[in-house]
């Protein structure tokens, strides 16, 4: 057996041109796959554009891949990707975006809570000029205390932190142009921050209301245990969106501020000791001043190291420092 890793572009030889790709991450959704495929097929056939449905099995252990193999043999528009183990929803979405061929890509969950009949509304916004259309589950069918309240708080924090104002960052149902998908570099739990990450390129983001249905089969994969990972990824995204091009401005400014305050305190204390004969051995402020100077020096050094690391990141990944819309 060949265990060589499958890379984007190695699979799915291009036949007829595909205008629309629908990507669904799958993890232990065996009982929902046939129905979600049937609903998608009805909607996509009605749209009238050449399409593909791409299921990404994220290491399911309930036999989901067997169902996907059955579906793919009966529908030539269906493709399935199987991970060797569970890598997480972000990795599944990233693989789907990499392997998709459509000019427009729609993402949604395979648990039947997203309604495929909302897809035409998302595509209409794309046709009207939007680059990324995000669904807003305004009437969610989830638990109030464990899902709705934490979600609302998280959405408010993310919107405030990233300056991209959306009601529902966690909704998987989205539509995006290919150029948006190609510029996403997802890892960790960053699939929920796709609008914030994509906003760096100056794209047009639209949010529309979509339907949401209660789960009828399977078990939810979400819980409060993900909260701490989301918070850490939010800090990463915030750093990526603002001072990532010049981290020395963030750490250097804090370091200079702390070092200056500490230095002034030491000068003031020195004057008191030399000219007013005030002892310093029993004054805690001496240790505070020294600490501020030391920490300030360390922050400036950290900023310089981060600056070098950022330059290496840009050069290694080819990330531009600007994005051109057009040249006239």
Calpha distance 84→91 (Å, rounded): 12
Which residue in 253, 248, 256 sits closest to 309, CA to CA? Answer: 248
CATH at 96: 3.90.550.10
Q: Are residues 231 and 123 in the same domain?
A: yes
Exposed, middle or buried by CB within 10 Å (0-12, 13-18, 19+), for 201?
Answer: middle
**258, part of any domain:** yes
CB 164 within 8 A of CB 205: yes
CB 105 within 8 A of CB 175: yes
Q: Are residues 121 and 148 in the same domain?
A: yes
Q: Are residues 47 and 151 in the same domain?
A: yes
Q: Are residues 156 and 62 in the same domain?
A: yes
Q: Which domain holds residue 138?
A: 20-241
**325, part of any domain:** no
**94, part of any domain:** yes
Which residue in 55, 170, 159 sits closest to 110, CA to CA? Answer: 55
Q: Are residues 189 and 45 in the same domain?
A: yes
**15, part of any domain:** no
**What are residue 208's phi and psi, to 5 degrees?**
-130, 155
| Confidence (pTM) | 0.76
**323, part of any domain:** no
pLDDT tens over the chain, length 328 residues: 333 344 444 444 445 689 999 999 999 999 999 999 999 999 999 999 999 999 999 999 999 999 999 999 999 999 999 998 998 898 899 999 999 999 999 999 999 999 999 999 999 999 999 999 999 998 887 666 666 777 788 888 888 888 889 999 989 999 999 999 998 888 777 888 999 989 988 899 999 999 998 877 766 655 555 666 677 778 777 776 765 556 777 788 889 999 999 999 999 999 998 888 888 888 889 999 999 999 999 999 998 888 777 667 656 666 654 454 444 3
User: Quick one: which H or E segment has residue 253?
Assistant: helix 247-275
Q: Are residues 284 and 155 in the same domain?
A: no
Per the structure, how many domains does the chain have? 2
Calpha distance 258→296 (Å, rounded): 5
Q: Are residues 132 and 73 in the same domain?
A: yes
**327, part of any domain:** no
């Amino acid at each position: 057996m060949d265990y060589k890793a499958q890379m984007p572009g190695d699979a799915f030889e291009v036949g007829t041109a595909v205008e629309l790709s629908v990507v669904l991450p799958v993890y232990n959704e065996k009982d929902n796959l046939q129905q979600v495929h049937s609903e998608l097929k009805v909607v996509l056939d009605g749209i009238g554009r050449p399409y593909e449905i791409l299921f990404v099995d994220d290491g399911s252990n309930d036999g989901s891949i067997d169902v996907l193999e059955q579906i793919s043999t009966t529908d030539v528009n269906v493709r399935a990707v199987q991970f060797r183990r569970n890598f997480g929803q972000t990795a599944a979405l990233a693989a789907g975006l990499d392997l998709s061929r459509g000019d427009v890509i729609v993402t949604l969950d395979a648990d039947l809570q997203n309604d495929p009949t909302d897809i035409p509304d998302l595509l209409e916004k794309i046709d009207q000029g939007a680059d990324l259309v995000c669904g807003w589950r305004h009437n969610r069918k989830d638990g109030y205390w464990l899902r709705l309240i934490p979600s609302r708080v998280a959405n408010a924090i993310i919107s405030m932190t990233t300056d991209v104002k959306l009601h529902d960052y966690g909704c998987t149902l989205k539509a995006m142009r290919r150029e948006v998908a190609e510029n996403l570099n997802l890892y960790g739990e960053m699939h929920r921050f796709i609008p914030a990450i994509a906003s760096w390129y100056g794209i047009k983001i639209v949010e529309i209301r979509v339907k949401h249905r209660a789960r009828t089969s399977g078990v939810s994969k979400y819980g409060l245990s993900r909260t701490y990972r989301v918070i850490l990824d939010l800090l990463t995204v915030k750093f990526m969106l603002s001072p990532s091009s010049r981290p020395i401005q963030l750490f250097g400014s804090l370091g200079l501020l702390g070092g200056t305050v500490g230095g002034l305190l030491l000068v003031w204390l020195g004057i008191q000791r030399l000219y007013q004969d005030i002892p310093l051995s029993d004054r805690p402020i001496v240790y505070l001043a020294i600490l501020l100077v030391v920490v300030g020096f360390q922050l400036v050094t950290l900023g310089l190291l981060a600056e070098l690391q950022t330059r290496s990141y840009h050069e290694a990944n080819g990330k531009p420092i600007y994005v051109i819309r057009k040249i006239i």
